[in-house]
Amino acid sequence: MGYEFDFGALLQYLGFFLEGTAVTLGLTAVASLVGTGIGVAGAAAVGSKRPWLRKFVAAYVELIRNTPFIVQMFFFFFGLPSLGVRLSALAAAALAMTINLGAYAIEIIRAGLEGIAPGQGEAALSLGLGPLPIFGLVVLPQALANVYPALVGQITITMLESAVVSQIAVVDLTHVADFIQSRNFRSFETYLVVTVIYLLLAIGLRRLLAFAGRGLFAGRVK
Amino acid sequence: MNEFTLWDIVRNLLYAVPWTLLLSAIAFAGGGFVALILLVIGLGSNKPVRVAVKLYVELFQSTPLLMQLFLVYFGLPLLGIDVSAWLAAGSCLTLYSSAFLTDIWRGSVEAIPKGQWEGSSSLGLHYLAQLRLVILPQATRMAIPPTVGFLVQLVKSTALASIVGYHELTKTAQILTNATFQPFVIFGAVALLYFLICYPLTRWSRGLEKQLARQY
């Protein structure tokens, strides 16, 4: 076998790796925060009395969950300019990731809301709370605590799927790998190192969010 | 220059649908076969093997599919194997789906009460006979809804094969976009085609789940 592995050749690109990692994590952070917000709003809308709102949310969730992320991203980046909405690659990537995660978050949080016993809301009502505090202070925190592990799993999936944003020239971790292997022709070593970085990021992200969850929900997360 | 009508676009996209379906089917069949082997050896009493199977599953679930594709596509030539887009996409998606199916199926087997193992063992059945005659028939019923659900994920995952040059639906859409400059129509139509493939599977999976919930 004539091939010799040379991982040392990658050391000089350390700065690029760090920058790419920062972009990947930044996109994930934006998508997670806004996506979870969409999830809460959407899940609340599923229980609304307005049929058109329920149908709209259901259509959104099904459309996103049954089409590939890469096609959604291409649609936002290449397709929207036809409607006069021109997005930078970074904005299109952030938008696609947020909208994607939002649909999954609605499903997850909706399941959490369904799991809360009606007595919780009724008890809060009998204490004189209005509809908004009942939802925001009583029902939602319990629902979020119950489905938090599923939400963390989905956020990790979004982070891993974001590797695809390199295809519209967002300079994320994968794009950095593409760039480096085009310079040093050590494609296998480069992609192997980046895969390991993704693996560590996934493990670290899960740990971090589990830790944050213990603080957020004060021991309620199982 | 030829003018592309809407029908030309739709027709070309429809030609690409079988390639997406074929790749999904190969990955599902191959992945199911590998997963069955991993399931049988991973449930056995050999601890290092059990841990190895768990690590295998974890590795595929915690790294991007795109990186897995690139590693196969750029890695196999180093071993002297000539990799076509077909081979790279097919083998990579097979391994990917094997990891997820192992996880799903192991969950179903672990949900079988322990008494079933003990009972069948007291009847003198050895490990493989226990699995084949007692455990798997019961676990299969539980495993089918999430397996169909995974099929949706697998069909969507095949879109990444376009990046290593496999000509399926997404790749065809990119080529058509370059030729016609109508990305809005084309990617909208492609999304719709994926939806038409995936949504019935989603509905089917949900129906099976409800059916199962009623039985227990």
Q: Give me the pLDDT at residue B17, please.
A: 96
Whether the predicted pLDDT of A219 surpasses 80: no
In chain B, where are the structural domains located? 17-167
Chain B residues interacting with chain A (CB cutoff of 8 angstroms) = 59, 62-68, 70-71, 74-75, 78-80, 152, 156-157, 159-160, 162-163, 170, 173-174, 177, 182-184, 186-188, 190-191, 194-195, 198-199, 202
Q: Give me the pLDDT at residue B77, please.
A: 85
Percent of chain A with pLDDT over 90: 83
Report if residue A139 sits inside a domain: yes
Cα distances (Å, whole numbers) of residue A112 to A129, A152, A198, B58? 21, 14, 29, 26
The answer to whether residue A111 neighbours chain B at the CB level (below 8 Å) is: no
Please report which helix (H) or strand (E) contains residue B113, including its range. none
The reply to whether CATH 3.40.720.10 applies to domain B17-167 is no
Between A80 and B76, the higher pLDDT residue: A80
Q: Band of the pLDDT at A10, cuts 50, 70, 90?
A: confident
Domains identified in chain A, total number: 1
Q: Give me the pLDDT at residue A222, please.
A: 52
Q: Band of the pLDDT at A221, cuts 50, 70, 90?
A: low
The answer to whether residue A169 neighbours chain B at the CB level (below 8 Å) is: no
Whether the predicted pLDDT of A104 surpasses 60: yes
Q: B194–A163: do the CB atoms touch at under 8 Å?
A: no
Q: What is the CATH number of the domain that holds A113?
A: 1.10.3720.10
The minimal CB distance from B74 to the residues A63, A162, A187 is found for A187
pTM here is 0.92
Asked whether the beta carbons of B63 and A198 are under 8 A apart, the reply is: yes
Q: Give me the pLDDT at residue B2, please.
A: 64
**Chain A residues near residue B174 by CB distance under 8 angstroms:** 74
Report if residue A2 sits inside a domain: no
Q: Give me the pLDDT at residue A55, please.
A: 96
Whether the predicted pLDDT of A23 surpasses 90: yes
Q: A66–B190: do the CB atoms touch at under 8 Å?
A: no
Between B201 and A9, the higher pLDDT residue: B201
Tens of each residue's pLDDT in chain B, 216 residues: 567 788 989 999 999 999 999 999 999 999 999 999 999 999 888 899 999 999 999 999 999 999 999 999 988 888 788 889 999 999 999 999 999 999 999 999 999 999 999 999 999 999 999 999 999 999 999 999 999 999 999 999 999 999 999 999 999 999 999 998 899 999 999 999 999 999 999 999 999 999 988 876
Return the half-sphere exposure (C-beta side, CA atoms, 13 A cut-off) of residue B129: 9
Q: Give me the pLDDT at residue A65, please.
A: 97
* Mean pLDDT to the nearest integer, A139-158: 95
Q: A68–B170: do the CB atoms touch at under 8 Å?
A: yes
The minimal CB distance from B187 to the residues A71, A160, A163 is found for A71
Domain residue limits at A136: 13-216
Q: B156–A188: do the CB atoms touch at under 8 Å?
A: no
